[in-house]
Each structure stands twice: as C-alpha cells, then as structure tokens.
C-alpha cells in the first residue's frame, strides 16, 4: 500500500480510477515544474519590475571578457557557489548563455582548433545525455564530430569528453573515462546541487557548466553559465555567443539573478536565524518523498528495476544524504525488450534508453514533473504490476 506524504497534494490522488488511467502522461522531458510550488510560496520575493527604459543597450560589462554578462547575475552566481560549496569560482571567468545548451555549443567551438586537419572527436560515456550527439553533429561542423561512447574510444590525438555528473539519465557520479593527455574536458554539472546528490567537494575543473533550469527549476528563463579557467577559451565562447545571439537576454539575467539571490538568502537565513527551510532543503525533501514512492511502486512487482545508490555525507546539508536523481533510469525486466513502447501502451511517455546510447530495455522518466503527473505515474506502475 502506498502512503502518500502530506506535501504531495491529496487532491492529486483522488481522481477517479478510469480518468487516471486514460490520460497520457508525458514524462519524456525533464521539465522542472515540480519547483513551482516552492516559488509560489515565496510570493513576491523573486518578482522583478523592469521599466521600459532599462536594459536597452546590447552591452553589460566592458570589463568582463563576457561583455554581455550582467554584473548582478555574475555576483549571484559566485555567491551561490560559495554558499553551496559545489564549485570553485576563484580564478574563473563567468560566461553566461541562453541555457547551458548554448554553452555546450560554445564550448565545442572554443575547444576545437580551426587549424586541425580533421574534426576533433566529441565523446561521452554511455548512457550519455541524449542531446549531445545531435548538438555535435547537427550542423555538420568541420571543427568537431560526435564519436560516441567514451568507454570504447581509442583514437589517438586530441578529443573532447563531455562529463556529466551526476549523470543524465542514470544519476551516477562520474569522472572522465578516456583519461589520456590531449583530452579537453567539458564538465556538465547541471545536476550537481544538494537536492539531487550529496555535495562532496567544490568542483575545480577547467570548464564547468551549470544552469538555472535544473538548480532552481527556471528552465523557461533560459539561463546557464560556464566557469572557465583559460581566458582564451572564455573569449572564444563569448565570440560564439556574439555571433549566435549577440549576447544573452538582460531581462532573463536579471530575473535569474533575483532567483539565485533568493536561493542564497534562503540558505543563509536557515542557518543563521533558524528561518524557513532553504530552497535546497525543501527540494531535497520533496525529491526524497518522490523517490521513496517510486521505489515502493517499482518493488511492488517484478517487472521493473531501478539503479541503487549509496548515501554520502553532504557538506552543504551537513548530513548523510541520498542520491535522488532528476530522472529515474528504469529497466524493464524479463521479456520486455522495448520498455518505452511497453510504457507507451500504458499511456506513459518516456525517453528510450536507445537515445542515450543504451539498451531499449531502459527508459528515462522525469522525476521533476507536477505532483499530479508524478502520482499518476506511481499509480500506474503499481497497477501494471498487479
Ligand atoms: N546538460 C544536461 C545534462 C541537461 O540535462 C540539460 C537539460 N536537460 C542541459 C544540459 C540543458 O539545459 P538548459 O539548456 O535548459 O540549461
């Protein structure tokens, strides 16, 4: 029997049985609507008003390599990393992007050489984030080329490895796997935040990517940032964005700055004044409840299985904490070869393991959707196995 925690709306479970089973639930994308409840509760704390005369210029900060970087946004990025302890910001250049998606492309451009005799190989270990192959190959660039699974990559010479940690889709902590000199690494740390994984150390890499989409849930604001050691790489990334979009929306940067400020404030108030739960404590608990419900539903029969993780001490939460990924990497056991089609038959849309370079026995399911959709998922996974 499932016990529904009080923070998961009672209304969402009281739908009539037929209605619940009929509706298509789409958990293919990682749309972070779960966080809406928190931000509603924050009321006007993150409301911004931008008068018509403000933020009109293309330019933001002529002293920064990234000349379209809003100083207020940059300040809040540095502050949040210092509060959370998940990244070293000293000696780094901040480059802002329209989502971290734009920064991935900017980084591929910046790390490849215009003088190379052939495109540089771009690799990532299976299962890798499903967008990487098309990001690398969509424009058939002469500079870089998707070369697949990093585990089996054995070509000599330079390469770019995308290291996603915790990993999308499976949630495991990762390190680079090719481990040869001449490797240029892009660390995509979109999910290195306390609600998803214990913070073990401040990341200290050459090129690291973050995004508000997954940290605070503001995917629609389309803001990501890179922390870049080498000024020449930061310059090239800035040039790419200049050619691509002549900068990044100032309105969005100001909104993101306000949201990041509210998150840092919530952390500092919780610790210094015993105030309300911080954003991360709140979202850690929300995901904890979801993962418990999911594991109960999956364990109620023998059709499915989930990855197993061990807990570790989180330096931010100051407690032993669990790995609770933004996605469930669900495996269909037994005879079901195509888990995605099987679940589609039950009107649950997921992303097939094949898109991550893995077997179709796996699917990726978003854990960040609304309470209503999440509870329908739990209900269906339980009902299917009865
Ligand atoms: N990297 C990873 C690993 C992701 O999962 C995502 C979003 N699904 C992105 C980058 C892109 O995020 P955004 O462009 O919204 O910042």
Q: Which CATH architecture has domain 71-267?
A: 3-Layer(aba) Sandwich (3.40)
Q: Measure CA of the first residue to CA of the last residue in the chain; give whole Å.
A: 12
The SS3 assignment for 40 reads: helix
Domain 11-40+277-384 matching CATH 3.40.50.300: the answer reads: no
Closest Cα to atom 4 of ligand 1:
190
Mean pLDDT of 287-306: 97
Domain map (residue ranges) of the chain:
11-40+277-384, 71-267
Q: Which atom of ligand 1 is nearest to the CA of 212?
A: 16
Give 43 Cα–ligand 1 centroid separation in angstroms. 27
Do 159 and 123 meet the contact criterion of CB atoms below 8 Å apart? yes
Record the pTM: 0.95
Do 223 and 253 meet the contact criterion of CB atoms below 8 Å apart? yes
Give 163 Cα–ligand 1 centroid separation in angstroms. 13
140-164 tens-digit pLDDT: 999 999 999 999 999 999 999 999 9
* Residues contacting 184, CB < 8 A, separation 6+: 111, 120, 158, 159, 160, 161, 206, 207
169-211 tens-digit pLDDT: 999 999 999 988 889 999 999 999 999 999 999 999 999 999 9
Question: To test the ligand 1 pocket, which listed residue (129, 173, 223, 367) has its Cβ within 8 A of the most ligand atoms?
Answer: 129
Is the pLDDT at 2 greater than 80, yes or no? no
Question: To test the ligand 1 pocket, which listed residue (103, 213, 368) has its Cβ within 8 A of the most ligand atoms?
Answer: 213
* CA atoms of 175 and 54, how far apart (whole Å): 43
Question: To test the ligand 1 pocket, which listed residue (27, 35, 100) has its Cβ within 8 A of the most ligand atoms?
Answer: 100
Give 20 Cα–ligand 1 centroid separation in angstroms. 30
Residue 35 is given by DSSP the state G
Do 100 and 235 meet the contact criterion of CB atoms below 8 Å apart? no
Cα angle value 43/46/48 (rounded, 5°): 115
In terms of Cβ atoms closer than 10 Å to its own Cβ (0-12, 13-18, 19+), residue 206 is middle
Topology match between the domains 11-40+277-384 and 71-267:
no
The most distant pair of C-alpha atoms in the chain lies apart, rounded to whole Å, by 64
Mean pLDDT of 64-73: 98
127 upstream amide cis, omega within 30 of 0: yes
Q: Which residues line ligand 1 (CB under 6 A)?
A: 30, 99-101, 129, 164, 168, 188, 190, 211, 213, 219, 224
CA dihedral 349, 354, 359, 360 (to 10 degrees): 30
ipTM metric: 0.99
**Chain centroid to CA 175:** 17
Q: Which atom of ligand 1 is nearest to the CA of 98?
A: 14
CA dihedral 102, 103, 108, 112 (to 10 degrees): 120
């Amino acid at each position: 029997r499932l016990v529904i925690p009080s923070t998961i709306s009672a209304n969402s479970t009281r739908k009539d049985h037929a209605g619940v089973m009929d509706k298509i639930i789409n958990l293919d994308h990682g749309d972070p609507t779960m966080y809406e409840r928190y931000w509603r509760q924050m009321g006007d704390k993150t409301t911004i008003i931008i008068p018509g005369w403000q933020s009109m210029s293309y330019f933001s900060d002529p002293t920064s390599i990234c000349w379209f970087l809003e100083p207020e946004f940059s300040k809040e990025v540095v502050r949040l990393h210092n509060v959370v302890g998940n990244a070293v910001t000293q000696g780094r250049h901040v480059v802002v992007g329209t989502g971290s998606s734009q920064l991935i492309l900017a980084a591929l451009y910046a790390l490849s050489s215009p003088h190379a005799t052939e495109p540089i190989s771009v690799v990532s270990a299976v299962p890798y984030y499903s967008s990487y192959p098309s990001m690398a190959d969509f424009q058939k660039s002469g500079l870089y080329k998707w070369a697949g699974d990093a585990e089996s990559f054995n070509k000599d010479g330079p390469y770019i490895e995308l290291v996603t940690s915790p990993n999308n889709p499976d949630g495991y902590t990762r390190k680079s796997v090719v481990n040869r000199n001449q490797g240029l690494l892009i660390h995509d740390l979109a999910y290195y935040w306390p609600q998803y994984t214990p913070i073990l150390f401040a990341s200290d890499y050459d090129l690291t990517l973050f995004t508000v989409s997954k940290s605070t849930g503001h995917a629609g604001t389309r803001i990501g940032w890179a922390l870049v050691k080498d000024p020449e790489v930061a310059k090239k990334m800035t040039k790419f964005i200049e050619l691509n979009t002549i900068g990044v929306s100032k309105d969005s940067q100001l909104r993101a700055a306000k949201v990041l400020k509210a998150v840092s404030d919530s952390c500092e108030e919780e610790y210094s004044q015993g105030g309300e739960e911080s954003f991360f404590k709140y979202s850690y608990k929300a995901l904890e409840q979801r993962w418990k419900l999911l594991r109960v539903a999956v364990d109620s029969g023998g059709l499915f299985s989930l990855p197993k993780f061990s807990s570790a001490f989180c330096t931010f939460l100051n407690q032993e904490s669990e790995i609770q990924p933004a996605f469930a990497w669900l495996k269909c056991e037994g005879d079901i070869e195509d888990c995605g089609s099987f679940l589609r038959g039950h009107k649950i849309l997921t992303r097939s393991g094949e898109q991550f370079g893995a077997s179709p026995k796996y699917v990726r399911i978003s854990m960040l959707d609304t309470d209503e959709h999440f509870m329908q998922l739990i209900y269906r996974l339980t009902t299917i196995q009865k």
